[in-house]
Structure 1
Amino acid sequence: MAVPKLSRRVWIGAGSAAALSVPLGMWILHEPRVPDGPLGPLRRDPNRVFDLAPGFEYQIVDRVRRRMTDGYLVPPRPDGMACFEGEDGAIVLMRNHELPVGFRDRAIGRRWPRVAYDPEGAGAVTRVVLDAATLEVRSSNLVLCGTSMNCSGGPSPWGWLSCEEDPGDPTHGFVFLCDPAATEAAPPNRIDGYGRFKHEAAAVLDGSHVCYLTEDQVDGCLYRFVPHDPAAPFEGRLQAMRIRGGDADTAPLRTGERRDIDWIDLANPTPLEDDLRETARRAGAARVKRGEGVCIAEGRVHVVATTGGPIDAGQIFRIEDGADRGTLEVLAASEDRGRMDMPDNVTAAPDGTIFFVEDGSGQDLLRYVTADGRVLPLGRNAGSDGEIAGVCFSPDAQTLFVNLQEEGLTLAIRGPFATLRG
């Protein structure tokens, strides 16, 4: 998540007089060159919604202010998202909406229902049920409401984990569990064990049910929650990652660098002040510069640091973790904004290919990382400089979903994904 950016159309309108006096070449210098993928350069979308690699197509499946089945309007600013399998093979999208306090009535058309977590909170989770073949909406509804700045989150064996990115009030800054089968707004299910801080995303390991949690702060940490017993997944201890025998700052690390890690127990995971990271850092925890997306691929944890790396344009870490110790490797660290510019949400295909979307300084892209570590483009926001979010695969891995946050669109992308691994 970043401060909302003006669209290209707004910039042109606001600065047209100044733009006429600037040579064209000076503008071109500000657009980093995007390398071509294996299928060729991205094709320009004549509708100016989303450019894609040859062979891929998108479909708009939902949009802001559309009337949902429960009578509410689709809220603005869709963000993190995950897919679940529904009845009769339907696709169930669980989708966050990153909204500040005070935006509520205008956003949804009427007041929150009585089950709202906080009547003044504006964040929400919506559920969209799609036909797996046609991608038509079968139904849609609120699931969680009255939260604050629901940024990303993650799928889990128990449902969608929705993360609040606003710890300014002691009642906010938590993770909430949401049921993909809920057909109406439900009472909030807050997971205190996952801590109170500026949450971004969450990823759960199969079997052990260890949950990895990112923090969107420039001086943030990477956390994990370890259950005492996998059968009681929300009872356990919260820990912060530490680098063994070296610098506690991950931001300078470049592609291919590795570090040994372990984990520090945190005695009070829900402090009244937003200072959990400060407590962790004093105990030796590593700094992760704006931790955002996190996912599991082939049993390994993949973590995004949005402004880490040698030019502050992002890193993707791969963690091989054990019960007490593990290793952290930099899968990719940007040294060229044309190749990676502030990665954000991340997901993995069944074959282990990592896909991520950007929230960068210019036009944002959907990219993927090949098996040999190359970062290549798959798509691009064609209509604005707005953030791309919510990247996730359908249960059969045939459809990739993304949100265009400022436009308020949810897109479904289909094409030859199998050709991208290499």
Structure 2
Amino acid sequence: MDRRTMLRAAVVGAGTVALPFTAWSAAYGAPAQNAPGPYGPLQPADAHGIQLPAGFTSSIVARSRQVVPGTSYVWHDAPDGGAVIPNGAGWIYVSNSEVSAAAGGGASRILFSSTGAVVGASRILSGTNSNCAGGKTPWNTWLSCEEVSLGRVFETYPLGGTAVARPAMGRFKHEAAAADPVRQVIYLTEDETDGKFYRFLPTTWGDLSSGTLQVLRAGSATSGSFTWATVPDPDGSPTVTRRQVSGAKTFNGGEGCHYADDTVWFTTKGDNRVWQINLVSNTYELAYDDNLVNPGAAPLTGVDNITGSTAGDLYIAEDGGSMEICIITPDDKVSSFLRITGHSGSEITGPAFTPAGDRLYFSSQRGTSGSSSGGITYCVTGPFRR
């Protein structure tokens, strides 16, 4: 039984009996393994230096320090985490800027019509530091996360409104966030070698001004059961949040985070892994480990940002590696979807699909120059599985 079928079966049966961890282990087996991609092999690089499967095309949406075509707004340096927000018949792509406040850190947006044409662009957050990843909320705000010690989460309003800090979500080296509307919580990753995995329970769903921060507790194995424990002092002072709860499980360099179908996936760059948290059974396991891939070499290294498609495929971007976005399918097969050539000093950031699932946005954070001023934001269109 594949991952998606297993999840759906578990949800149907959740009202009667919870699956024991041994059943989940037997169903999932080993982490994702090499296989041909669902779209076929990569073709030679196109005019933008991107290798794609047949039938897919790329375009450049914006370049750092240049005016976004069709607007008067200059795109920010070092584009990082991103998301797509519905906007009437069109949509908005939001993107963080992973530079210091003095250098223009914060986040921006690009507005698109229903045909995908750019109709506007502007700043939505300023004066913040090293905004790396983040996450979209069900009420269409963007959580922009500071990747610095005692970093904050800022709730921004791409559809209109003034950004505000959300200190109740904890002060630590934030990376990504993912909203779970079923349990009404926000999951949070921490980019430290001894980082932890958190969830924030708002006092009122839809209002992040107050609530409880909890950390995942589990053993040292790569699979097992887990519990949640409350972090006593979310402000991280005088003791940092990751060292406040005994038994909190350590994850080496938490990065991207994605929720769907009673499951949350997150990546750890320190060991090139994708973790899978099964929220029905309260168990965790590896969805991917580059040391456990067969046959042949692992296609996915430099594991970083992650998103999902409407078909249930996971798309994972590389920080370094081969500068690829790779796919893990619901039947646990891993393959390369695209490769950016000539960007060896960069990383791929901000992958996000439009609501229809027919466009994928992402950036090369430092482009061909290897500098924060060289960022390029792209869009890929084609016959995505939906």
TM range (shorter): 0.7 to 0.9
Give the whole-Å Cα distance in 2 for the aligned partners of 1:399 and 1:274.
43
The corresponding residue for 1:304 is 267
In the TM superposition, residue 278 of structure 1 has moved relative to its aligned partner by: 2.1
- The one-character-per-residue Cα deviations of 1:176-222 (angstroms, maximum 9, x if unpaired) are 1111113xxx6431111110100000001114320000001111000
Shift of 1:70: 8.1
Answer whether contact 1:363 1:384 (CA < 8 A) is retained: no
Q: Are 1:81 and 1:152, in contact at CA under 8 Å, matched by a contact in 2? A: yes
Match status 1:330 vs 2:286: yes
How do 1:40-51 and structure 2 match up within 5 A?
40-51=40-51
Match of 1:321 among 266, 279, 293: 279
- Indicate yes or no: 2:164 matched with 1:176: no
Pick closer, same or farther for the CA change 1:241–1:319 going to 2, 3 Å. Answer: same
TM-score by length of 1: 0.75
CA distance in 2, matches of 1:306, 1:100: 22
Aligned to 1:368: 327
Contact residue 174 and residue 196 of structure 1 kept, 8 A: yes
Query: Which one has a bigger Cα radius of gyration?
Result: 1
Out of 195, 206, 228, the residue aligned to residue 203 of structure 2 is 228
Instruction: Give the C-alpha shift of residue 293 in structure 1.
Output: 0.5
- What residue is the counterpart of 1:141 in the other structure? 122
Q: Deviations over 1:298-343 (max 9, x none)?
A: 22111111222xxxxx111111226xx7111211111266421021
Name the structure 2 match of 1:219. Answer: 194
Give the alignment partner of residue 348 of structure 2, picking from 353, 375, 388.
388
Give the distance between the partners of 1:78 and 1:342, measured in 2 at CA.
18
- SS in structure 1 opposite 2:194? coil
Residue 131 to residue 187, structure 1, CA distance change in 2 (3 Å): closer
Cα distance between partner residues in 2 of 1:127 and 1:231: 22
Partner of 2:313: 353
Partner amino acid, structure 2, of 1:400: L
Contact 2:166/2:208 (<8 A) preserved: no
Identify the residue that residue 371 of structure 2 maps to in structure 1.
Answer: none
Q: 2:249 corresponds to which residue?
A: 286
**Structure 1 partner of 2:230:** 265
* Aligned residue among 277, 281, 286 for 2:242: 277
Distance in 1 of aligned mates of 2:238 and 2:100: 19
Q: In structure 1, give the amino acid aligned to 2:376.
A: L
Query: Is this contact kept in 1: 2:156–2:162, CA < 8 A?
Result: no
Distance 1:401 1:285, change over 3 A: same
Task: Find the counterpart in structure 2 of residue 203 from structure 1.
Answer: 178
- Residue 269 of structure 1: how far off its partner (Å): 0.3
Contact 2:232 2:244 in 1 (8 A): no
Is the 1:150–1:162 contact (alpha carbons within 8 Å) kept by the matching residues of 2?
Answer: yes
Distance in 2 of aligned mates of 1:272 and 1:188: 24
User: Partner of 2:244: helix, strand, or coil?
Assistant: helix
Separation of aligned partners in 1, 2:154 and 2:126: 11
- Secondary structure of the residue that 1:285 maps to in structure 2? coil
Task: Give 1:374 shift.
Answer: 1.3
Opposite residue 341 of structure 2, the aligned amino acid is A
TM-score (norm 2): 0.82
Distance 1:231 1:76 in 2: 31
Letter of the structure 1 residue corresponding to residue 343 of structure 2: S
**Structure 2 Cα separation of the partners of residues 231 and 396 of structure 1:** 24
Match of 2:21 in 1: none
Q: What's the CA shift string for 1:338-370, capped at 9, x where partnerless?
A: 42102111111122211110113x431101101
For residue 385 of structure 2, give the secondary structure of its aligned residue in structure 1.
Answer: helix
Opposite residue 61 of structure 2, the aligned amino acid is: V
User: Where does structure 1 lack aligned partners over 5 or more consecutive residues?
Assistant: 1-33, 105-121, 309-313
Q: Please show how residues 10-29 of structure 1 align to structure 2 within 5 Å.
A: none
User: Who is 2:382 aligned against?
Assistant: 415
Q: 1:48 to 1:317 in 2, by over 3 A?
A: same
Distance 2:239 2:97 in 1: 22
- Going from structure 1 to structure 2, the CA distance change for 1:193 and 1:299 (only over 3 Å counts) comes to same
Report the number of matched residues.
339
SS at match of 1:100: coil
In the other structure, the counterpart of 2:111 is 129
1:326 aligned partner, one-letter code = N
C-alpha displacement at 1:76, in angstroms?
A: 1.1
Shift of 1:86: 1.0
In structure 2, what is the Cα distance between the partners aligned to 1:346 and 1:91?
Answer: 20
